[in-house]
């Protein structure tokens, strides 16, 4: 249907969204598109000492933190009714802000728990102490992890899952012996020694404890799987009856352990990584109680570090901040305090946030964008010659079944049973938080069906997600602002920015992991014979392409680890570009400031990933994070997309040129 002249003028009157000062026009699009699109932004936004990386995401996060701070400080500024959400939010914030009290208390709040561990005489007593502390909210992890989540083979039902654990930093740092990893491990050893000295251990005792801890953690890390292996759903699912589980993993009283946590009458459970849990059983069998005690004390101390005053926090930041990420200074106390409140009472804060900062019009426009992206994804499915009709039909069914969440939950989380007591220390309150969180999880999930209304992010979070077991895409209110979303900008900008984010999350439903789940969220091979193999061949192209990228002179990107996210970017760009062309085909957008609508689409996409980052953070992210670095989400993604070449006239004489036959051919 043709638009009226007035409507057409309104569209053309919208801004282009692209801010020219963020660009570096001295760079050439085909040589370094990231520098061309983001160079001005990087020059104008140098790293501040508190940041190891600072990008477009962080600009919004900073603004949201200021907004949340104003909401919280209003509650903290005067007495509130005891037990009210306002009291809990205000008092928790005030507790974290009270540096005088924390420094006066020092390490004393945690000493009682450390001394309880020190008094243990036998492994049996050590296990009994684990069972006690699990009812008290003490922050420590066993030699394994436990959680309750959707059963991937029966996605409407929750399942108890046991996973690998037993070590405190990224697995690679224990098992890889290159110079960069050895440097991190040596720093970690010094950090353990210093932390024990801060709670009163002699240098000799702290050194002995560190050596015991490293021996145990290295053993567990070697038994564990790396991040790439953990991405394979099938090999990380081993469901069995509880009776068979207790016969398979002997040497530990599992019934008492789970009963004390309120996880009773277990019919079945899944063991994610059997070899790691068997190693844990061996550790319990052949490790001295002194080593187990040292390790348990470290778990408690490590978890408590940020609650014990500035001297301890400075050491925590020195390792986790300066060494691991390259940040020069801690974040201001108010930001750390906001983060604590967000982690505990996030949905309550989010409810206040959306009431003040998320206009209904934003949600309406976002809903339309999502619908248009769904249409575009359907068109991309139909256009694939390598996909059989049966697979296309099933893919459409999955697409049509997407659950879409925008802005904020339909129902808010209940915090009525959570207690925040300003008379108690921050450490003690965080123990109460942990007790409440566990009880709340049991109440909502144990022996209960999966709640499709649950949100996995707070409404003011600057992010988005796809959940395969619920087949849902979620876009919190926090991300729906510039440079992702601009109500004043035209479709070239919004489809290139938030449109690609929408498409990215949709694409996760069909990436190398998500494609293994059907429309109902069950792990099932719904692909016709041969189509899965064709998909894997095409996905291998993007794995190999990114694995060849040098992120540092001695470090390549990990194409296997980042495969899902890179496929998400690739699909997101394709889907959003198709939706953009659909939306503007009857009323094409004009050239603005010398840039065609197609060029503005790709500039908007690149602008989302503008960032400055330290070498330490590059190394850490490449080791542990399934997301590629911002630079390569642009310079790695766009050369695999035909439309980018057409928009900027990229030819084989340009350094970023990739021959068409070597580009990804999935969507």
C-alpha 185/C-alpha 263 separation (Å) is: 36
CB 92 within 8 A of CB 336: no
- 545: closest CA among 642, 659, 645, 644? 659
The alpha carbon dihedral of 648, 651, 653, 654 has a sign of positive
For residue 120, report the phi and psi dihedrals to the nearest 5 degrees. Answer: -65, 140
pLDDT over threshold 60, residue 31 = yes
CB 381 within 8 A of CB 399: yes
pLDDT over threshold 70, residue 443 = yes
Of 11-15, 294-298, 560-564, the one with minimum mean pLDDT is 11-15
* DSSP at 592: B
Residue 294 is predicted with a pLDDT of 98
Residue 12 is predicted with a pLDDT of 53
DSSP secondary structure of 292-318 = HHHHHHHHHHHHHGGGS-HHHHHHHHI
All CATH 3.40.390.10 domain ranges of the chain, comma separated, are: 30-66+338-409+418-448+458-662
pLDDT over threshold 60, residue 409 = yes
- CA dihedral 352→356→361→363, nearest 10 degrees, is -20
Mean pLDDT of 175-200: 95
Residues 6 or more apart whose Cβ sits within 8 Å of residue 170: 620, 623, 624
C-alpha 537/C-alpha 546 separation (Å) is: 15
- 496: closest CA among 71, 10, 18, 11? 18
> How many residues comprise the chain?
667
- As a whole-number percent, the residues of the chain with pLDDT over 70 amount to 98
Quick one: pLDDT band at residue 176, thresholds 50, 70, 90?
Answer: very high
Element (H, E) at 268: strand 268-271
Residue 13 is predicted with a pLDDT of 65
How far the first Cα of the chain sits from its last, in Å, is 28
All CATH 1.10.1380.10 domain ranges of the chain, comma separated, are: 107-308
Instruction: Please report where in the chains the tokens 């394979």 appear, as a residue.
Output: 232
- Rg of the chain over all Cα atoms, to the nearest angstrom: 26
- Residue 646 — left, alpha, or beta (φ > 0 → left; ψ -120 to 50 → alpha)? alpha
The per-residue pLDDT for range 54-74, each reduced to its tens digit, is 999 999 999 999 999 999 998
DSSP secondary structure of 607-647 = HHT-EEE-HHHHHHHHHH-SSPPHHHHHHTTGGG-HHHHHH
Reported as half-sphere exposure (CB side, CA atoms, 13 A), residue 290 has a value of: 6
pLDDT over threshold 90, residue 77 = no
Q: Residue by residue, what is the 3-state secondary structure of 63-114?
A: HHHHHHHHHHHHHHCCCCCCCCHHHHHHHHHHHHHCHHHHHHHCCHHHHHHH
Q: CA angle, 473 as apex, 619 and 531 as ends, to 5°?
A: 80
CB 523 within 8 A of CB 233: yes
Mean pLDDT of 630-656: 98
Superfamily of domain 30-66+338-409+418-448+458-662: Collagenase (Catalytic Domain) (3.40.390.10)
Residue 9 is predicted with a pLDDT of 34
The per-residue pLDDT for range 252-304, each reduced to its tens digit, is 999 999 999 999 999 999 999 999 999 999 999 999 999 999 999 999 999 99
Mean pLDDT of 477-485: 92
Token readout for 350 is 């989010």
The per-residue pLDDT for range 488-524, each reduced to its tens digit, is 999 999 999 999 999 999 999 999 999 999 999 999 9
C-alpha 332/C-alpha 49 separation (Å) is: 11
Angle, to 10 degrees, between the axis of helix 531-547 and the axis of helix 563-584? 100
pLDDT over threshold 50, residue 564 = yes
Token readout for 101 is 């009290």
CB 655 within 8 A of CB 31: yes
For the structural domain made of 107-308, what CATH number should be given? 1.10.1380.10
3-class DSSP assignment, residue 514: helix
Quick one: pLDDT band at residue 8, thresholds 50, 70, 90?
Answer: very low
Reported as half-sphere exposure (CB side, CA atoms, 13 A), residue 105 has a value of: 23
* DSSP at 168: S
Mean pLDDT of 75-91: 92
Reported as half-sphere exposure (CB side, CA atoms, 13 A), residue 399 has a value of: 24
* DSSP at 555: E
Mean pLDDT of 526-533: 96
Q: CA angle, 520 as apex, 519 and 522 as ends, to 5°?
A: 105
Residue 1 is predicted with a pLDDT of 30
Token readout for 137 is 């909210």
* DSSP at 595: B
């Amino acid at each position: 249907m043709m638009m009226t002249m007035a409507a057409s003028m309104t569209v053309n009157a919208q801004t282009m969204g692209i801010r020219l000062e963020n660009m570096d026009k001295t760079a050439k699009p085909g040589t370094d598109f990231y520098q061309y699109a983001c160079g001005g932004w990087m020059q104008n936004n140098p790293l501040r000492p508190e940041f190891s990386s600072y990008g477009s995401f962080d600009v919004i996060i900073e603004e949201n933190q200021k907004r949340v701070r104003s909401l919280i400080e209003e509650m903290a500024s005067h007495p509130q009714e005891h037990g009210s959400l306002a009291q809990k939010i205000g008092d928790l914030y005030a507790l974290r802000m009270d540096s005088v009290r924390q420094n006066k208390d020092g390490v004393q709040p945690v000493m009682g728990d450390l001394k309880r561990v020190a008094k243990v005489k036998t492994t049996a007593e050590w296990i009994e102490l684990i069972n006690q502390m699990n009812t008290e909210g003490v922050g420590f992890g066993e030699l394994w992890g436990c959680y309750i989540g959707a059963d991937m083979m029966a996605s409407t039902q929750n399942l108890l899952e046991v996973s690998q654990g037993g070590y405190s930093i990224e697995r690679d740092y224990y098992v890889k012996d290159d110079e960069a990893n050895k440097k991190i491990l040596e720093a970690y050893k010094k950090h353990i020694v210093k932390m024990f000295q801060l709670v009163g251990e002699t240098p000799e005792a702290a050194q002995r404890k560190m050596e015991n801890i490293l021996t145990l953690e290295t053993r567990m890390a070697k038994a564990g799987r790396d991040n790439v292996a953990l991405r394979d759903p099938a090999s990380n699912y081993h469901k069995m009856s509880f009776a068979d589980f207790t016969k398979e993993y002997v040497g530990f009283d599992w019934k008492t352990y789970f009963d004390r946590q309120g996880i009773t009458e277990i019919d079945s459970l899944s063991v994610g990584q059997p070899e790691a849990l068997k190693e844990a059983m061996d550790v319990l069998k052949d490790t001295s109680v002194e080593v187990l005690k040292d390790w348990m004390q470290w778990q408690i101390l490590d978890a408590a570090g940020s609650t014990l005053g500035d001297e301890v926090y400075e050491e925590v930041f020195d390792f986790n901040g300066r060494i691991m990420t390259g940040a020069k200074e801690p974040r201001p106390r108010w930001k750390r305090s906001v983060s604590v409140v967000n982690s505990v009472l996030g949905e309550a804060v989010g409810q206040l946030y959306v009431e003040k900062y998320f206009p209904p019009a934003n949600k309406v426009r976002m809903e339309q964008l999502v619908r248009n992206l769904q249409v575009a994804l359907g068109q991309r499915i139909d256009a694939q010659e390598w996909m059989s009709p049966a697979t296309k039909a099933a893919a459409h069914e999955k697409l049509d079944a997407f659950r879409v969440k925008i802005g904020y939950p339909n129902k808010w989380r209940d915090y009525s049973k959570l207690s925040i007591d300003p008379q108690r220390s921050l450490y003690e309150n965080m123990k109460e938080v942990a007790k409440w969180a566990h009880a709340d999880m049991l109440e909502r999930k144990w022996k209960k069906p999966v709640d499709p209304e649950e949100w996995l992010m707070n409404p003011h979070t600057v992010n988005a997600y796809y959940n395969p077991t619920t087949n849902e895409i979620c876009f919190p209110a926090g991300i729906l602002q510039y440079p992702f979303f601009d109500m004043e900008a035209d479709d070239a900008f919004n489809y290139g920015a938030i449109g690609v984010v929408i498409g990215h999350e949709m694409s996760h439903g069909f990436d190398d992991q998500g494609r293994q789940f059907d429309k109902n969220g069950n792990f099932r091979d719904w692909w016709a014979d041969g189509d899965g193999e064709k998909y894997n061949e095409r996905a291998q192209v993007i794995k190999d392409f990114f694995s060849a990228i040098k992120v540092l002179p001695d470090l390549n990107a990990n194409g296997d680890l980042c495969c899902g996210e890179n496929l998400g970017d690739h699909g997101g760009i394709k889907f959003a570009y198709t939706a953009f062309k659909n939306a503007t085909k009857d009323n094409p957008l004009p050239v603005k400031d010398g840039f065609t609508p197609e060029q503005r689409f790709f500039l908007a996409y690149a602008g989302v990933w503008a960032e400055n980052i330290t070498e330490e953070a590059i190394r850490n992210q490449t080791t542990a994070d399934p997301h590629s670095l911002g630079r390569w989400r642009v310079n790695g993604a766009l050369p695999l997309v035909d439309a980018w070449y057409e928009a900027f006239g990229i030819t084989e004489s340009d350094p970023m040129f990739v021959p068409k036959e070597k580009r990804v051919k999935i969507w």
